[in-house]
Amino acid sequence: MERGGAAAAACGGVVVVPPAAAAVKDSWPELVGVSSEAAKEKIREERPEVDVQVVPGDAFVTMDYNAGRVRVFVDSDDKVARAPKIG
Protein backbone atom coordinates (compact mmCIF):
# COMPACT_ATOMS: atom_id res chain seq x y z
CA MET A 1 0.00 0.00 0.00
CA GLU A 2 1.26 3.48 -0.72
CA ARG A 3 1.13 6.53 1.53
CA GLY A 4 -0.51 5.86 4.85
CA GLY A 5 -0.29 2.06 4.74
CA ALA A 6 -2.69 -0.05 6.79
CA ALA A 7 -3.86 2.90 8.88
CA ALA A 8 -5.03 4.74 5.78
CA ALA A 9 -6.76 1.62 4.50
CA ALA A 10 -8.57 1.28 7.84
CA CYS A 11 -9.85 4.86 7.48
CA GLY A 12 -11.15 4.32 3.99
CA GLY A 13 -7.98 5.60 2.34
CA VAL A 14 -8.02 8.96 4.13
CA VAL A 15 -4.74 9.99 5.70
CA VAL A 16 -5.21 12.22 8.73
CA VAL A 17 -2.32 14.61 9.28
CA PRO A 18 -2.17 16.48 12.61
CA PRO A 19 -1.96 20.27 12.30
CA ALA A 20 1.50 21.79 12.52
CA ALA A 21 2.49 23.11 15.91
CA ALA A 22 1.06 26.57 16.43
CA ALA A 23 3.59 29.31 15.83
CA VAL A 24 4.85 30.90 19.01
CA LYS A 25 3.57 34.46 19.20
CA ASP A 26 6.29 37.13 19.36
CA SER A 27 4.38 40.39 18.84
CA TRP A 28 0.98 41.83 19.73
CA PRO A 29 -0.03 44.59 17.28
CA GLU A 30 -3.68 44.16 18.29
CA LEU A 31 -2.88 45.65 21.72
CA VAL A 32 -2.05 49.16 20.45
CA GLY A 33 -4.47 51.56 22.15
CA VAL A 34 -5.48 49.30 25.05
CA SER A 35 -4.53 49.89 28.69
CA SER A 36 -1.18 48.65 29.97
CA GLU A 37 -2.88 46.32 32.44
CA ALA A 38 -5.02 44.70 29.73
CA ALA A 39 -1.94 44.33 27.53
CA LYS A 40 0.10 42.71 30.32
CA GLU A 41 -2.75 40.30 31.05
CA LYS A 42 -3.10 39.27 27.38
CA ILE A 43 0.64 38.79 26.87
CA ARG A 44 0.99 36.75 30.08
CA GLU A 45 -1.99 34.64 29.02
CA GLU A 46 -0.35 33.80 25.70
CA ARG A 47 3.30 33.70 26.84
CA PRO A 48 3.41 33.11 30.63
CA GLU A 49 7.17 32.53 30.59
CA VAL A 50 8.11 36.08 29.51
CA ASP A 51 8.80 39.10 31.71
CA VAL A 52 6.40 41.89 30.73
CA GLN A 53 7.76 45.39 31.37
CA VAL A 54 5.61 48.53 31.07
CA VAL A 55 7.75 51.47 29.93
CA PRO A 56 6.89 55.10 29.11
CA GLY A 57 6.94 55.59 25.33
CA ASP A 58 9.73 58.16 25.50
CA ALA A 59 11.95 56.23 27.94
CA PHE A 60 15.53 55.27 27.14
CA VAL A 61 16.01 51.50 27.26
CA THR A 62 18.88 49.15 26.53
CA MET A 63 19.06 47.87 22.97
CA ASP A 64 19.97 44.30 23.90
CA TYR A 65 17.76 41.49 22.66
CA ASN A 66 16.20 39.33 25.37
CA ALA A 67 13.95 36.46 24.22
CA GLY A 68 12.39 36.34 27.69
CA ARG A 69 11.21 39.96 27.72
CA VAL A 70 8.34 41.98 26.26
CA ARG A 71 8.38 45.73 26.66
CA VAL A 72 5.02 47.48 26.55
CA PHE A 73 5.57 51.13 25.62
CA VAL A 74 2.72 53.35 26.83
CA ASP A 75 1.65 56.94 26.21
CA SER A 76 0.73 59.53 28.84
CA ASP A 77 -2.77 58.00 29.12
CA ASP A 78 -1.29 54.56 29.97
CA LYS A 79 -2.39 53.17 26.60
CA VAL A 80 -0.12 50.95 24.51
CA ALA A 81 1.68 53.26 22.07
CA ARG A 82 3.32 50.67 19.78
CA ALA A 83 3.06 46.96 19.21
CA PRO A 84 4.67 45.03 22.09
CA LYS A 85 7.18 42.43 20.92
CA ILE A 86 9.68 39.93 22.26
CA GLY A 87 13.09 41.42 22.74
Q: Measured between alpha carbons, how far is 34 from 56 in angstroms, rounded to an integer?
A: 14
Per-residue pLDDT, 74? 98
CA distances from 11 to 20, 47, 64 (A): 21, 37, 52
Q: Domain spans of the chain? A: 35-86
pTM of the shown model: 0.72
Q: How far apart are CA 63 and CA 22, in angstroms?
A: 29
CB 31 within 8 A of CB 83: yes
How do residues 5-40 score in pLDDT, each as one tens digit? 555 555 566 665 555 556 889 999 999 999 999 999
CATH homologous superfamily of domain 35-86?
A: Trypsin Inhibitor V, subunit A (3.30.10.10)
3-class DSSP state of 37: helix
Band the pLDDT of 82: cuts 50, 70, 90: very high
Please tell me the predicted confidence (pLDDT) of residue 23: 81
Query: Quick check: 1 pLDDT over 50?
Result: no
Mean pLDDT of 68-80: 98
